[in-house]
Structure 1
Amino acid sequence: MEFHMEIRDLEYFIEVANHKNFTKAALQVHLSQTALSKAVKKVENELGFELLDRSTRELKLTDAGEVVYHQATKALSVLKDMPHLLGDLVNLQTGQIKMGVPPLIGTLFFPKIAKAFNEQYPKVSLELIEFGAKKIEALVEEAGVDMGIVMLPLTSVHDEHFHVYPFVKERFLLYAHKNHPLAKRSSVWMKELEHEKFIMFSEEFTLHDRLIQDALKSGFVPSIAYKSSQWDLIIELTAAELGIAILPESLYAKVKDPNITTVPIADPEMMWELGIILLKERYSSFAVRELINFLTEKQMTDKLGPI
């Protein structure tokens, strides 16, 4: 079977699959919704398969769509590597890095990473792609991004496919309203939170699974009052005395509500460890390698300053 579809049409299909919505994807690729729909239909007609299930409000990939999505992503990744390979030969100081980062990590680290790295490599551009860590791992594996920063340990069943570089390690703290009975304590045990109502990140974030596992290790199933994909909403719900949250220590510097206080968790001491992940079999450009070196140097904390 011979195909004549254009690369751009495959890229449009991948954007629609990622956003699960024609309107959002059209905004991303700066194309009208009608033109984008025609481009995707063109791919379907060429292949002879329906790739998207349009019967629901949120678009879903059909079985054929799953195959085409994964294969097209890999194929386009190979093509996109060519400019990197040639660019490295011509000028080692230029490049573009597409970095997958969960929203909380992006909020805490990306602005200072981008500023500090740009001071050393002004010709290298950084593009931030924000999803939950589970999605980020999948994007790295599918070569949808050059690298990802996620919480460790990895959740992927294919974790052996990744190079992992430890990045940051810090404590989790209990976040609560200042009038909460535990707010004045110097520390708390995880077991003491058994009867609390938790406000957590939603299931697509590894932090959700991590906190449930830690609660189970302490002998209880956490009662989840609210789930959100936004850290600032979690803080607002906590400030409204609707529950407690467990979040990284560095986030407290971003909290403006004076009603929120934090308490260390002493037993077990819960740590938030982040890692940079790369796909082992994929070529890493000079720019990507330099960013990894920049982030993993011992002096990184000094370069970025307080979060």
Structure 2
Amino acid sequence: MTRRELLYVKTVSDTKSISKAARQLFISQPSLSQSIQRIEENLGTPLFNRTTGGLTLTFAGERYYHTASQILKMYEDFEIEISDINNLKTGRIHMGTTDYLGTLILPSILPRFRDICPYIDLTITEANSAELEQGLLDGRLDFTIMHAPKDQHHPQLNYELLARDPFVIALSPDHPLLKCAIKKAGYEFPVLDIALLKDEPLLMLHSKQRIRQVTDVILGRAGIHQPNISLTLKNFETAQLLVAQGLGITLIPRQYSSRSAVQKQPAFCSIDKKYDACWDRCIASLKNSFLSKADQMFIRITKELVS
């Protein structure tokens, strides 16, 4: 397998189209089609399913794609390592962050980074946590600034802790459960036992969003394994707005709740420390991967400014 062959298969898979891949690779469509056919003939097995909806990977194709991604990442790492000899005069960074976290941290990080590294080509991918982790595994991203999984960390990824943010319970200002909340020293809000939410209608985010994943773990620690989910949303600010209107209860990171733009604010309750109801902002990267000097500089600035 040559580097060109690896790149051809990976690009066709990413675009799901010979014609789109050919344009991206700046070669003719017939030439790319013939190359893919030769690769499949040499391997003795098809890599793609040809369907009316486009090209999809066969099982062998999935294995080839995974290997190609890793090898191409090694090539890229080597090139970046060589470029480091230029002492940050050239180079590139492919980093990722979640949509909302990016609005919180990038405005403080990027000006400082640009002052120090004005010639580094920076590409930022904004996506949900699952997509960012896959980007690291595929070699498309050097590192990400995100929130770590609550319980099961991916075995191939490193999660370096930056900061911890507690979750709080958001409910309407006239909700009866507020009478059960108890003021305790060391807590910002009155403490409400999570177990009391067992039969309450909950507003939850989608399962691929890290807030939802952390919420599921917190509820599970309170014995709530089948919560009463009345509505599933993508936007946590929408969830807060609906909570304030009395349409349910939600769990949300404290930092995010304070930046909500909703006019009518919900009431908030703290969660007892025994539930470890928090999430960890982190730098995630592939284990044993090479991080360039530019990567390391960006990470160092991040630690200094937003930890």
TM-score (norm 1): 0.76
Letter in 1 for 2:38: E
SS at match of 2:270: strand
CA distance in 2, matches of 1:212, 1:290: 35
Q: Quote how far apart the aligned CAs of 1:37 are.
A: 8.2
* Match status 1:290 vs 2:282: no
SS at match of 1:78: helix
Letter in 2 for 1:64: A
Structure 2 equivalent of residue 305 of structure 1:
none
Letter in 2 for 1:13: V
CA distance in 1, matches of 2:241, 2:171: 10
SS at match of 1:167: strand
Partner of residue 265 from structure 1, selected from 247, 262, 270: 270
Structure 2 equivalent of residue 100 of structure 1:
96
Partner of residue 205 from structure 1, selected from 184, 206, 209: 209
Unaligned runs of 5+ residues in structure 1 are 303-307
Structure 2 equivalent of residue 47 of structure 1:
39
The change in CA–CA distance for 1:104 and 1:84 in structure 2 (over 3 A counts) is same
Q: What is the RMSD of the two structures over their aligned residues, measured on CA atoms?
A: 3.7
Letter in 2 for 1:170: D
Mapping of residues 139-288 of structure 1, within 5 Å: 139-153=135-149, 158-159=154-155, 161-182=156-177, 186-187=189-190, 188-221=192-225, 222-235=227-240, 237-238=242-243, 241-267=246-272, 268=275, 270-288=277-295
CA distance in 1, matches of 2:56, 2:90: 37
CA distance in 2, matches of 1:13, 1:210: 35
Letter in 1 for 2:118: P
Letter in 2 for 1:62: T
- CA deviations 1:91-143 (Å, max 9, x no partner) are 32543211122334334333433334334333334322233323322322332
SS at match of 2:298: helix
Structure 2 equivalent of residue 15 of structure 1:
14
**Number of residue-to-residue matches in the alignment:** 289
CA distance in 2, matches of 1:43, 1:15: 17
Structure 2 equivalent of residue 84 of structure 1:
80
CA distance in 1, matches of 2:297, 2:114: 12
- CA deviations 1:148-176 (Å, max 9, x no partner) are 233234766652x4343211211212233
CA distance in 2, matches of 1:4, 1:94: 23
- CA deviations 1:220-272 (Å, max 9, x no partner) are 23222233444444445545643322121221343211123251323235222
TM-score (norm 2): 0.76
CA distance in 1, matches of 2:147, 2:258: 20
CA distance in 2, matches of 1:285, 1:154: 28
The change in CA–CA distance for 1:86 and 1:65 in structure 2 (over 3 A counts) is same
Letter in 1 for 2:290: Y
CA distance in 2, matches of 1:58, 1:183: 54
Q: Quote how far apart the aligned CAs of 1:61 are.
A: 3.2
SS at match of 2:248: coil
Structure 2 equivalent of residue 64 of structure 1:
60
SS at match of 1:266: coil
Identity %: 22
Letter in 1 for 2:120: V
Once the two structures are overlaid, the 10-residue window that deviates more, 39-48 or 169-178, is: 39-48
SS at match of 2:124: strand
The change in CA–CA distance for 1:55 and 1:237 in structure 2 (over 3 A counts) is farther
CA distance in 2, matches of 1:157, 1:148: 15
The change in CA–CA distance for 1:58 and 1:208 in structure 2 (over 3 A counts) is farther
Question: Which protein is bigger by CA-based radius of gyration?
Answer: 2
CA distance in 2, matches of 1:228, 1:196: 17
SS at match of 1:254: coil
CA distance in 1, matches of 2:239, 2:34: 43
Q: Quote how far apart the aligned CAs of 1:88 are.
A: 0.7
CA distance in 1, matches of 2:29, 2:197: 50
The change in CA–CA distance for 1:191 and 1:277 in structure 2 (over 3 A counts) is same
CA distance in 2, matches of 1:39, 1:263: 62
CA distance in 1, matches of 2:203, 2:29: 39
CA distance in 2, matches of 1:235, 1:59: 41
CA distance in 2, matches of 1:30, 1:172: 47
The change in CA–CA distance for 1:274 and 1:121 in structure 2 (over 3 A counts) is same
The change in CA–CA distance for 1:291 and 1:59 in structure 2 (over 3 A counts) is same
